Structure 1
């Protein structure tokens, strides 16, 4: 255990150098007692460092900018100015520590693990462990590239090769300059990494904090959905569901406590394919501060058990409590089967398989419906009707998971024309469809150190 912590210290040091480019750190005297990671076990240990790789590390700036919640005046006035500016879609100067730094810490860990493998020969004795490390490192890098690119780049547009995304750092060399790749290039890197990972990872993980084939397939499904490539998003949703298609029955399930409890959903429940948590950047989305959009809450039917499981009264509004983290204050951001059923349904609707789309949707909804009242399956009379119903249910099922901002971007890119508004202290703020702010501001210190163009 002591060795693991000293490895983490070294990784933290080198990552700080890589992210901030501060050469003064190189002047520090070496400590002979520190252990430099070099074995396969060390490489796996880097990826098992949940504090850097899983816990409160998924970018949440986009969630702070989305429309599933609002801040009452007292909550708004209690947060720092940078949080207020993020909430009202204004450019805000901000520095380390933030979504960017946390995401690239995980990328650095992934790259370091991959570089360690260059000096470790794969053989029959270590093949499974070697493949696990490489597949996991590629998965983590792909995941954080996807979530960073979808937050700091504009919506995917196949015809726009000049839209700037994020730097694709593929090594630990801090002398390598940070240059923003295109949005398209970022998505292609995600596909390349996740595609390799899916061939290396085990079918099922030792624990859901570790990636698996199902997790890599779920990642690809989300990625292709953001890219509007519905045939491939459908394919990988189906691949992921082959490994786990379980849904919790909200009428009673071993992974649920009483739905009225403060935290009704257990951590690591049967729907969880891979576990991660949203960061707490800017302090905007703190559960005690936010209130759920009133129109969204009203869209849950009387016999929809999510209305009890996901919300608690904070008169005259509602607070969210439906986290898959076992915590009232920490938001889930990993992959779960409910997202995959919704991915599959949406893709089938786009591809004009209306019966298949509604079957997937109804499979999910039935598991959330009060069983003392007959469930009436939803139907659709057209492709548009199906998409409208699926998108609404997607929003109702996946709120506060860091997905809404990406969904708004892709919907608006297809012409949904969703306009966001916030009323704060008597002033109305508006975010128009496809506005430049949908590529969120990059941290000020990164711009200053790298010379990269700001959004």
Structure 2
């Protein structure tokens, strides 16, 4: 399972007053972006268990000679371990490190890089930049060993490594890198569901309209159960977000259902109403490629990618009017809005806000409770989420 506290801190949901009244003080502090002391952080612990398993697998594999009889399996284990380690390093670094900034990330605190299964190894936080460099290095190495397509989407593949490198490129503001790897991922897997009647969808199903392991899934993971404030049994869909969907946009039906006068999100790629999908899927890769093309000046190419995706989400009985943009800025604005609408509650929004604000977007998050307004200002120190207090006390590493 992947970290969830970033999604808890983002803006795609809100809590009703009755729900807020049930929160512990520390969880309310988290909801309103106050740094709070908490222990046994599931996000940190579960992710580093995966890192530990990857390191142990690599160490054990070093003791097995690669030969003609075991080459395919040996390569799969090697590539998979490198991929898993980088996948969790990236998720942790996006959540617990500040947004990447070329001028400061060499000194900004990132996460702990561990390349050994020895739990006696002293924990030291690396820089944000070093962490991203490690992610890229592991992923690039994994490409030498992984198959193009996985045996199952639970397992890594070249397509998944390319897609994760594309995601990493966005976080690094390296749009040429993101474009390169999005292209490579889509050359292997480019399927999209047509929301007008795909066999992987049932829009009439009240709670779980999207099938697990659907044709868009490149690599399957689910979000950890952390504070769960954003989960459908507690969080309401942000009203501004929901209002942004056209009446003929089938995502309104596929992704949301009414709960009183508000909406609850249900569009998980997990087949479970309360379990969030946080893996890699082709819709994200198309949006990454579109955003990268736009940033690099290919506005028409960017709009072509975006329209290819959104037309699959549009009611077929109503003529689809393609998106157009007259400038790079307009294209980026449209694509980033559609990215938010398409990738709701996928564990990506918090990192996206961080990178947009590093590009001077000036996004301010706000929550209202009992007449009091709480705000998270652009590039606030809270964008590097607090670490579990028991981790600080046991290891002596520095708190955010």
Smaller-chain TM-score bracket: over 0.9
Contact preservation (8 Å) 2:58, 2:78? yes
Q: CA offsets per residue over residues 388-415 of structure 1, 9 Å max, x none?
A: 0000000000010000000000000000
Per the alignment, in what secondary structure is the counterpart of residue 283 of structure 1? coil
Measure the CA separation in 1 of the matches of 2:41 and 2:175: 36
Matched, 1:221 2:166: yes
Q: CA offsets per residue over residues 167-199 of structure 1, 9 Å max, x none?
A: 101101112100000000000000000111122
> How far 1:97 sits from its partner (Å)?
4.4
> How far 1:242 sits from its partner (Å)?
1.0
User: What is residue 31 of structure 2 aligned with on the other side?
Assistant: 87
Unaligned runs of 5+ in 2: none
User: What is residue 110 of structure 1 aligned with on the other side?
Assistant: 54
Per the alignment, in what secondary structure is the counterpart of residue 144 of structure 2? helix
User: What is residue 194 of structure 2 aligned with on the other side?
Assistant: 249
User: What is residue 180 of structure 2 aligned with on the other side?
Assistant: 235
Please, which of 287, 295, 305 is the counterpart of residue 240 of structure 2? Answer: 295
Alignment RMSD (CA, Å): 0.9
Contact preservation (8 Å) 1:83, 1:283? no
Contact preservation (8 Å) 1:95, 1:443? yes
Q: CA offsets per residue over residues 325-358 of structure 1, 9 Å max, x none?
A: 0000000000000000000000000000001000
Per the alignment, in what secondary structure is the counterpart of residue 78 of structure 1? coil
Per the alignment, in what secondary structure is the counterpart of residue 284 of structure 2? helix
User: What is residue 76 of structure 1 aligned with on the other side?
Assistant: 20
Measure the CA separation in 2 of the matches of 1:353 and 1:186: 30
Measure the CA separation in 2 of the matches of 1:290 and 1:273: 28
Please, which of 271, 284, 296 is the counterpart of residue 339 of structure 1? Answer: 284
Matched, 1:62 2:32: no
Residue pairs, 1:50-199, within 5 angstroms: 57-160=1-104, 161-199=106-144
User: What is residue 264 of structure 1 aligned with on the other side?
Assistant: 209
> How far 1:449 sits from its partner (Å)?
1.0
User: What is residue 4 of structure 1 aligned with on the other side?
Assistant: none
Contact preservation (8 Å) 2:203, 2:253? no
Measure the CA separation in 2 of the matches of 1:294 and 1:420: 14
Per the alignment, in what secondary structure is the counterpart of residue 122 of structure 1? coil
Residue pairs, 1:350-429, within 5 angstroms: 350-429=295-374
Measure the CA separation in 1 of the matches of 2:179 and 2:110: 25
Measure the CA separation in 1 of the matches of 2:21 and 2:138: 42
Measure the CA separation in 1 of the matches of 2:200 and 2:25: 40
> How far 1:427 sits from its partner (Å)?
1.6
Measure the CA separation in 1 of the matches of 2:123 and 2:148: 35
Contact preservation (8 Å) 1:323, 1:330? yes
Higher relative contact order, structure no. (Cα contacts within 8 Å, ≥ 6 residues apart):
2
Q: CA offsets per residue over residues 176-230 of structure 1, 9 Å max, x none?
A: 1000000000000000001111221011111000000000001100011100000
Contact preservation (8 Å) 2:98, 2:109? yes
Contact preservation (8 Å) 1:306, 1:368? yes
User: What is residue 328 of structure 1 aligned with on the other side?
Assistant: 273
Q: Which moved more, 1:277-286 or 1:387-396?
A: 277-286
Structure 1 runs of 4+ aligned residues shifted over 3 Å read none
Per the alignment, in what secondary structure is the counterpart of residue 200 of structure 1? coil
> How far 1:77 sits from its partner (Å)?
2.0
Per the alignment, in what secondary structure is the counterpart of residue 132 of structure 2? helix
Contact preservation (8 Å) 1:280, 1:286? no
State which structure, 1 or 2, has the greater radius of gyration over its C-alpha atoms: 1
Measure the CA separation in 1 of the matches of 2:35 and 2:222: 25
Q: TM-score when scaled to structure 1?
A: 0.87
Measure the CA separation in 1 of the matches of 2:183 and 2:305: 11
Residue pairs, 1:6-17, within 5 angstroms: none
Measure the CA separation in 2 of the matches of 1:346 and 1:445: 40
> How far 1:82 sits from its partner (Å)?
2.7
Per the alignment, in what secondary structure is the counterpart of residue 181 of structure 1? strand
Q: TM-score when scaled to structure 2?
A: 0.98
Measure the CA separation in 2 of the matches of 1:239 and 1:261: 36
Unaligned runs of 5+ in 1: 1-56
